[in-house]
Structures are given as structure tokens and as C-alpha cells.
Structure 1
Amino acid sequence: MNLLVLLSSFLELMLGVTLIALWRLNPRHEHVLLWGRSAVLLGMGLALGVGMAPVVSPGPSLDLLAGLAAAAVMTSLYQLMKGSALYRRRPWSGRFWAGLLLVMSVGIAVLAQQHKPWAVAFAATVLCLGNLRCAAWIGWTPRPAERVMTLLFVASAAVHASGPLLHPLSQSAVTHASGLIVQTLLSLTLIIVAAAGAQKEARDQALRFSRLAEHSLQGLAVMREHRLLYANPAALQMFGFPGLAQARQSDVLQELVLPGEAQSSQARHARVLADPEARIEWEGPRLSQDGRPLYLRGLSSQLVWDGAPAELIVMLDETARHEALEALRRQAHFDELTGLPNRNHAVEALGRLTAAGTPLLLVSADVDRFQLINETLGPEFGDRLLHALGQRLLEHMRQCALPSSVSRLGEDQFLVLVEGLEQPSEAEALARRLLEATRQPLRLDEQELTVHLSVGLALSPRDGSDAATLLRAAESAMHRAKQIPGSAHALFDPALDRRASSMLQAEQLLDKALRAREFQLVYQPKFRCGSRRLSGFEALVRWQRPDGQRISPADFIPAAERTGQILPLGELIIDMALLQLQSWHEQGQVLPVAINVSPVQFTQPRFADRLLERLARSGLPRGLLEIEITETAAMTQLDEVLRQLEQLGAAGVPCAMDDFGTGQSSLTMLRKLPIRTLKLDRSMVEPLPRPEAAAIVEATCALGRSLNLEIVAEGVETEEQADALERLGATHLQGYLLGRPLEPAAATALLQSSGKDRPRHSPALH
């Protein structure tokens, strides 16, 4: 009897250990662990309570043994019930069931002290009800194994119930034999169910991963020794293989990996096979099986395949993105029309070379009158011409012994960079050869066209040690070459660059200076010939910066005309001149003041109207403000100037032609213009009293008298010049001999003393 119980206990222990071992293969299935523990505890309980009890003498030892056996059996029942509930995903209240079974265990122990058969009967009842609860949780399902489990739980309950019925202390051989059979079958069924569940889950998981791999847009491949073991459809399609069988026949390293990538691919494969934790990201070019170029991004790691390490490669086809990036990179660095490097590429190359201190020549070449070609022959022809010219420049520079490059800088501008040239003579010799090469006609279809280039030359480090400075120098020289007729070249001239910088500075400061009213007028006096009495003033504008710097009118007047700021500047000059005239008029002494008017001002249709309105508001006689316009302005804007001068002359505002003798005035124009005064330019006055100069001045004065014009001679600096002018027929003198430009206070003082004749050979006023 004891042998049967011990055999049953040992068998339960072994079955429990088996279940625990199954659980360790897949720890997510907690119910398998619980069933294993239940079997182990049940075996221990049987061994302690039934198998060992007959050989232990009554007393405390037997009571302790019985208590341990009861605790083991109750804990086994708890584990069995919890495992069954979790298996069927039933709600489980561990606190409730643990408390209930603990109370029952205490009850069994108490009953055992009073009357052992009662304790055995109570324990059998608890075990019977626990197994029936497990049977209810498992239920009658379509699965055969689960039905067998339910039946065996019911049978186990019957065995537990039969124990007290067949023997008061549950020591019937029938009970133990049937219990051994039923419990063994139940444990085996639990093992089968656990194994089947694990197998099903493994199968489901494999199916899931298989479906993921088969339907993934990422390419998956398994390699060993560069032989393909597996590839999903995405990878097969990526490389152009119709199926896995064909792909396995290929030599991946020889057929799909470019020669330059083979070494790195082999090294990566070896590293992955040697290190289970390796995760290597890579990207690079590959070939499809039909030779189509690919660009892949991948991740390589180790995978055990058929019991041996292999390389698992996850791949993305980045070919389209890579080609798009390459196209953007090319677009960013190469000109689409000519295929030559563009401005960005040229500036980067120039920056690298200048940073390295490499001596070089920079050639900026611009096509002359390219807009005329576009307008006459069409933009498409112009594009083809630029392409052909770029190729002509490239072919010529390839014959150069020094490293060189040709870039397209702008619409019709090219940049040639030649390394190793330092001497201006070498640069000019190369420019002459370049112009000679491009002077040959370009033939496009049936048409031949000769192209003229203006070429600017800048040398590094002579003209600049950085890309921006050198490029600016070359373009400055190119613009100077454009002033030379035909194909021409010019070296960078630092003096001209300083002049350009001064002009730019004047343009940038003009607007701020106008708002701050940094301009003021000085007044250069005019005197009548013979008496040398003061007859009027010419208002000249001066620009005094707050920092004390004076900017020459030769710089800021052209800058104001280029930028259109001559309009507000001209308005300011008129305002200041009128205010000064009003001040003199209020003092009772006033003479006419002449102001220079830019041709840009005459382009304003209402210039004359606004000037007359301001004169009316000032209350001054209109004859006190004289308008001077240059001979060149009168010639270039004749129609507009003539209309507005006639309006001013009719209103009583006198007008004068300034700088006469510098332009190409005709007698007809002099007759048409409503002017009262002709001002001889200083270039006519300076040679006096030489006979040839005197003849020209005398003829001009005679012409002026015939047209009833006053003749004002500018730039009179010597008494000999003044005497000659008076003798030749001039009516007024103006120059440093008689008076320099005066500040308003000094001009006022001169005006107050103007009643006296000025003696000859008097010092000039300052």
C-alpha cells in the first residue's frame, strides 16, 4: 500500500517537473507553471500525508507531518484552480481563494486534533469541490484534449470523494490505485495540452512572421558565405529575380555587389557571423540581376538559420531618393543649360584654392549685346549659343598646360579659373588667346554668328586672397572691359575699385542723409564785367557728414541721379535757396540766386508747376530764382526740357544753359530754348588768353549777343583770364579770382557791401 502511494507521489513529482520544464520553454504561459507546481505539491502531500503516516509513531511528529501534508495538498489545489482559471481566461481573485483555502486548511488541522476521520472527510470534500470547479472552468469544448481534461477533473473529484467512503482514513487500495491512474492521466493530459498550446503558438507566431516577411515592403534576405538562404518577395522584386529558386543559384558577391563594395560587404558579413549582438547599418550601390543600378540602405544582424549563424539583411530600396538627391546636388552645382559647373560650384572651388594660398587667375567673361541676340533670334537660339560658347571655352582651356575649369556664372557670363598664374603679363596673354579662340564664328544649324566677349582679369593673391574679393575684382575688371569697343580684356584696377566703393557708399548713405538734412548750400558770387560789381549767386550743395567727413558733389550727385534720390535732394535745394532768398528779401537787399536742376527733375511732368507754386507761397519775385540746366541735359531731354523751360520763362523765371562748350549744342537748339543766360564752361576759360582759345570765346560771345543772351564765364582764376573775357564780350565773371563759394553768413555780408565797385587784382573772397 505504502509502495503504491510513494510510486504515485514520485510520478506526480516527475510530471510536475515536466510541466515546469515545458513552461521554461515559453514563460508567457503561466498556467503551465501553475499546473507543474500543483503536481509537485500534490506529490509531496501524498508522500507526507499518506505514504509516511503509517511509519511515524503517533504524537507531535505525526501531527506536524499531517499539517505539512494538508498545507501541500491545499496549496496544490490552489495552484491547480488558478492555472485552470488562467488557461480559460476566467476572472481570478487570488486573495479570495487563498483566504478560503487557508481557512479550510486550518479547519482540517483542527478536525485532525479532534477526530481524524472527520478531517479526512473534510479534506476529501474540499479536494472534490476544487476539482469540480476546475472541470466547470474548463467546460465542454470542441477540443478533444479539453474534454478529456474536464472528464479527468470530474474523475479526480470522484476519486477524492471515494476515499472516506471506502476507508475512514482514505487508505483504501481502490482509492489509491484509481487515484494513481486518474492523476497520472490528468497530469499527462495537462502536459499534452501545454505542449499543444506551445506548438500552436509557435506555429501561429511562425505564420505571423512569415506573413509579415512575405507582405513587407522592406526586402529581407538571409545569407551565409554570400549564398542566399532566403529572400522575401520584396527582396526578390528589388533585385529582379522571378523566384527564390533562381535567386539561390546566383553568386551574390560576384553578380549583385559592385567591385568597389565587395571588400566592405565581406568584412561586414564576417563581423555579423562572429558577433550575435552585431547590428550594422550600411548603404551603397548594388546591381539587380539584369544590371540595373540600385542604391540600398540596409541593416545587417545575426540570425540562427538551420542551426548555424547567418546574416539577416533588412533592405530599403533608396534608388529613387538617391537619384533625386543626386539630381538636386547636380542642379545645385551644375548649370542645366550648358552642363558646366554653376556659380555655387565655382565659388566653392575658388574658396578652397584661395584658402590653400594657390596662385590663380580668375577670368570673368561676359557676352556683349546678348540681349540683342535674344530679341532678334529668340531665346532658344540664345540658349544654344550659350551652350556652344561654353563648349568652345571648355575645349580651349583643356589645351592649357595649367589646371583650369570653366563655369557659367550667370545668364551670359562665364568664369574661367586657371591655377598657377601670378603675373599680369601671363594673364593678359591668356586672355588674348581666349578672345582669339572665341572670335571664330559659332555655327548653329545653317547660321554663323560671331560673338564678342568682355573679359575681366583678377589675380590671387595680388587682387584678393578670398573668393568674394577675387570674384568682385574680376567682375569689376569685366565691366571696365565692356567700355572698350569690341572684344576686349582688362586687368583689375584697385583705384577704380576704390572709386566704385566710394560711389556705393554715397548711394547707401544718401537716404539717411536726406532724412537728417545733412546737406547745406554755399553761394558762389557772380560779378558784372567791367564794374566787377556783385550781380548774383550760384547756390552749390555740399554734404557734411556728422563725423566731419565731407563727400564730394562729384560722388554724391551722380549717385543721387542713379538712384532717383536726386528728386528729394533737388526739392531740398530749392527749399533752402528760397529760405535764403526770403531772408535777404526781408533785409531789403537781394540779388538773383541760380540753382542747378538735374535732367531727372525735368522728367517729372509737374516740375515747373510745383516750382511756380512754391515761389508763389514764398512771396518772392519770380526773377530772383534762376534755373540752370546743363547743355547735355538739354540735348538728351529736349522735348520735356523745352516744354517746362517755356512754362518757367513765360512765368518770369529766368533760365540758363550751364557748362556750355562741353556738349554738342546746335544753333537751332540755342534759338529754340527759352534761356536768358549762356554759361561758358571752365574748359573754355582755362586756356585764355591764348589766341586760339580767345577766338572760340569771342565767337561764342558774339553768338550770345546775337541771341540777346548774357554770357557768364565760369572758372575765372587769373586776372589775365578776366581781362580777356571782358575784352572778348562776356557779361559776367564767376570764379576763385573774384570769390569762392561762401557760407550763408559770408554771402550775406558780401551782399550788404555790394554797392561798391570791386577793384581789379583784388584778393578772392573766402
Structure 2
Amino acid sequence: MLDDSPITTLSKVIQWLDDIFDQVDECQVIAFDHRDVAGMNRELGFDNADKLMAVSSEIIRQELACHWDVDFKRLPSGQAFAVIKGCPSKFTERVSDVMQRLKAPLEYHTTGFGATTRAIAEYPSDGDNAQLLVLKLEEKIKEYKRRSATFETASLATAPSFVTRQRLQKAIELQEFEVYFQAIHGVSENRVIALEALARWNHPEHGVLSPLYFIERLTRFELIYDFGNQIFEKAIKQLAAWRRNGARPDLSMSINVSVLQLRNPAFFRFIKSRIEHYEVPPECVQIEVTEENVQCDISTRQLRSITDFGIKLAIDDFGTGVSNFRRIVDIQVDSVKIDKSFLKDIKNPRSKDIFTPLVSLCKAMSPRTVVEGVETEEQRAFVESVGANAIQGFFYSRPAPAAEITIDTLK
């Protein structure tokens, strides 16, 4: 049953919580909040925004109710509170699963608006009354938003034209998005074995802009499919040109693909047609899907249609999501790319103790393990010592346009 009657005030939430606390010795309280309520009201209208918040609240309630007995309330502002009595096992992991569910476009609307922040507090350890606990939750949500803020609270705040759908649509039409390439260096081969295609926006007024300025908004405005296809074709066309000019026959191109592209039934037909048009062997093309997106509702059949054609599949940003290893085993993975965050504190012995078995796990899942973010000689030597197959990072090369990459480095 959809929660169409939100509780009216925060004071009533506090009273509701206090009533629960009188009946239990301990419980977990979760607060969920929408990242951009003002944007939802502006783009969808107040009525539609409220309906969307009701849908996301119902998703939260249903997802949590699959595992526990849940008491649930929401406010008109979009905030929602859930109470789970006791301290159940795997609690944090289950909440993370809910957040992953909400990152996908909601059924009611495909703008990508959703409840994207959450905070957890325990009664009575985090507060022995509802008012203290709610204050604690609000502090955590503010900190969560502050840490996760990127361009929306920084550079884009001074460049509002960047965030409009019309401007991004124009950028696609005018081919303003370009492809930069970063080398992936084979350890045993001691040479470049692949290149990753990375999108940049060549803005006529603001210069070359990184994906932080546009990927999230392209997704929100439902432009990511046209954008992604354009980047894919440019990358394949460039690989074909390098092959004609003497690049090694087995040089491969790795291209990031969004979950929305993979869900589109026309996507496979598109990439197959481009690969055949430019006469590039399918085995020289690799699509990268983040670990997080592998857990989404992309069917194994969709992925197998791609890999059966000969295209390789890589799991990107491995180690940052909640892995379903059965899911990864069910699909044919050719590369696993370990997220660069694991190398930041490599001088810490504990970090090394974690990194080494992580590489072993990746090697068991796929023929190639790529470590991203290698910037120093110390990091390079360590990565090689633990048996990774390939290295990507500033130590070997920075992303660069095709004109700056010499054919000799690709032979």
C-alpha cells in the first residue's frame, strides 16, 4: 500500500519514536533523505515530486520489510524514518542494498531522482530519547551530503548553464564531447596492452571539462544513451585508425558503459554494427561495467549476447560495491579493475594485508587483474609484487587526446 499520507511534522515523528522506545530495550533507527527536493519540485512540479517521494518511501519500506518487522513514517519534505527493533545481523549490508535499489531510476519517473542519503543511529547508545536521536541522525545526513557533494555545490554553482538539459543536448549534437585515452600497461608484457576511452567535454567557453561536470546530469536528463553511443563510436573509430597505421593487432579498447545503455534492447545491435562497420575484431573491444551496476537488474542473457559476440567484459571500480560473487561467476568476466582508493594508504601495513588477498580474489575471477590509480614507483613495485596483471595510472600515462598518442607506443 503506497504511503500517500505522510506524517505532518517532525514533532510527531519524535513522539512516534518515543512511544516505540518505551516498548523496547534497543533498536535501530534509519533516516532517509532526498538529495535535491528543490530540484524535484522545480522539474516535476509539487504534486509529481510528492508522488515520487511517496514511491521511493514505499520502496524503502518494502525492501526493509523483506528482512525485518519495520515501523515506518515519512514527512512531506521527503524525509523518511524506519525503526527496526533489536540489532539484527547484516544490518548495514541490507541498508546498503536498499540504497543500491534507489540509485536506479524509479518506476514512477525516469529522472533519476531518489532517496540518496541515509543515516543510522542506535537506541539507546546514540541517544536515550527520540529528540537526541533525531538530532544525531540529522547531523549524520548533513555530513553525508557534505562528503558526497561534487560539482553541484562547487564549480557548477558558478556555471548554471552546464546543468541544463538543453545545453547538454546541444553538446551532443555539436559533438563537443571528445574521447581521451589512458594506457593500461601489462606487467609481464612491459608495454601498453589496452587503452581506456574517457569522455571529456570540450566546452567552447570553459575549456576541457571532466566527467564530474556532466555524467550525473546526462543520466538525470535521460541523455546518457545518446552520449554513451557517441563516445563508443568515437573510440572504436579511433582504434580502427590506429590499427590501420600500424598498431599491434591485439591492442584493445576499453569503453565505459552505463547500466541504462545495457538495459536498452537496441544497445547490442548498435555496438555490433559499429564494430563491424569499422572492421575491428570484437575481441579487441572491452566494455567496462561498474561493480555496483553488475548487481542491478541487467539480465545475464543481455551480457552473454555481448560476450558471445566476442566483446570482452570488465568489472570496474571493484571493491567499492556490495559484491554478489555468484552474479559475477554467472557472467564471463575478462578483467577486474581494482578501484584506485585501495592504493591511497598503501604504506599502512593493514592496507597491504587487505590488498594482497583482494588481488588473489580478482585473479580467481578473471584472466586479468588491473590496478587503477598507480602514481608512484612504490605503488608500481608493490602492485607487481602481489601479482596483478596490469597497471593503469599517472605513473605510466595521463589521459590524453588521440593526437598526443604516438603510434610507436601502440606497437
- Structure 2 length as normaliser, TM-score? 0.64
Judge conservation of contact 2:199–2:210 (CA < 8 Å) in 1. no
Secondary structure at the counterpart of residue 636 of structure 1: coil
Q: Residue 353 of structure 2 corresponds to which residue in structure 1?
A: 695
| RMSD of aligned alpha carbons | 3.7
Deviation at 1:413, TM superposition (A): 10
Judge conservation of contact 1:595–1:628 (CA < 8 Å) in 2. yes
Deviation at 1:648, TM superposition (A): 1.5
* Structure 2 unpaired stretches of 5+: 13-44, 51-71, 80-113, 121-132
Judge conservation of contact 1:453–1:487 (CA < 8 Å) in 2. no
Q: Residue 653 of structure 1 corresponds to which residue in structure 2?
A: 311
1:617 counterpart = 2:277 = yes
Aligned AA (1:373): D
1:583 counterpart = 2:241 = yes
Match of 1:674 among 332, 340, 344: 332
Q: Residue 713 of structure 1 corresponds to which residue in structure 2?
A: 371
Judge conservation of contact 1:503–1:556 (CA < 8 Å) in 2. no
CA–CA distance in 1 between the matches of 2:206 and 2:10? Answer: 51
CA–CA distance in 1 between the matches of 2:333 and 2:78? Answer: 46
CA–CA distance in 1 between the matches of 2:169 and 2:351? Answer: 43
Q: Residue 213 of structure 2 corresponds to which residue in structure 1?
A: 555
Q: Residue 605 of structure 1 corresponds to which residue in structure 2?
A: 265
Q: Residue 71 of structure 1 corresponds to which residue in structure 2?
A: none
CA–CA distance in 1 between the matches of 2:356 and 2:46? Answer: 54
Q: Residue 254 of structure 2 corresponds to which residue in structure 1?
A: 594
Q: Deviations over 1:706-734 (max 9, x none)?
A: 33420001000011111111110100011
Aligned AA (2:270): R
Give the paired residue count.
301
Q: Residue 3 of structure 2 corresponds to which residue in structure 1?
A: 373
Change (3 A) 1:754 1:571: closer
Q: Residue 164 of structure 2 corresponds to which residue in structure 1?
A: 507
Secondary structure at the counterpart of residue 164 of structure 2: helix
1:686 counterpart = 2:344 = yes
CA–CA distance in 1 between the matches of 2:78 and 2:328? Answer: 42
Secondary structure at the counterpart of residue 322 of structure 2: coil
Q: Deviations over 1:405-458 (max 9, x none)?
A: xxxx956999xxxxxxxxxxxxxxxxxxxxxxxxxxxxxxxxxx96646599xx
Judge conservation of contact 2:256–2:287 (CA < 8 Å) in 1. yes
Aligned AA (1:627): I
* Structure 1 unpaired stretches of 5+: 1-370, 375-381, 393-408, 415-448, 457-478, 756-766
Judge conservation of contact 1:455–1:481 (CA < 8 Å) in 2. no
Deviation at 1:637, TM superposition (A): 2.7
Judge conservation of contact 2:162–2:214 (CA < 8 Å) in 1. no
Aligned AA (2:290): T
Secondary structure at the counterpart of residue 286 of structure 2: strand
Change (3 A) 1:637 1:555: farther
Deviation at 1:695, TM superposition (A): 2.6
Change (3 A) 1:413 1:719: closer
Secondary structure at the counterpart of residue 688 of structure 1: coil
CA–CA distance in 2 between the matches of 1:596 and 1:451? Answer: 37
Secondary structure at the counterpart of residue 239 of structure 2: helix
CA–CA distance in 1 between the matches of 2:75 and 2:174? Answer: 47
Q: Deviations over 1:683-706 (max 9, x none)?
A: 122222533222322212222333
Secondary structure at the counterpart of residue 574 of structure 1: helix
Deviation at 1:561, TM superposition (A): 1.0
Higher-RCO chain (CA-CA 8 Å, sequence separation at least 6):
2
CA–CA distance in 1 between the matches of 2:335 and 2:246? Answer: 25
Change (3 A) 1:487 1:646: same
CA–CA distance in 1 between the matches of 2:3 and 2:10? Answer: 16
Q: Residue 526 of structure 1 corresponds to which residue in structure 2?
A: 184
The aligned runs of 1:458-497 (5 Å cut-off) are 483=118, 497=153
Deviation at 1:622, TM superposition (A): 1.1
CA–CA distance in 1 between the matches of 2:73 and 2:313? Answer: 49
CA–CA distance in 2 between the matches of 1:587 and 1:688? Answer: 40
Deviation at 1:596, TM superposition (A): 0.3
Identity of aligned residues (%): 26
Secondary structure at the counterpart of residue 637 of structure 1: coil
Aligned AA (1:630): T
Q: Residue 731 of structure 1 corresponds to which residue in structure 2?
A: 389
Change (3 A) 1:554 1:689: same
CA–CA distance in 2 between the matches of 1:752 and 1:608? Answer: 33
The aligned runs of 1:326-365 (5 Å cut-off) are none
CA–CA distance in 1 between the matches of 2:241 and 2:261? Answer: 26
Q: Residue 287 of structure 2 corresponds to which residue in structure 1?
A: 627
> Of the two, which has the highest radius of gyration?
1
Q: Deviations over 1:454-502 (max 9, x none)?
A: 599xxxxxxxxxxxxxxxxxxxxxx999755696668999996556745
Judge conservation of contact 2:252–2:285 (CA < 8 Å) in 1. yes
Q: Residue 200 of structure 2 corresponds to which residue in structure 1?
A: 542
Secondary structure at the counterpart of residue 396 of structure 2: coil
Structure with a larger share of its residues in helix:
1
Aligned AA (2:349): P
The aligned runs of 1:101-250 (5 Å cut-off) are none
Q: Residue 102 of structure 1 corresponds to which residue in structure 2?
A: none
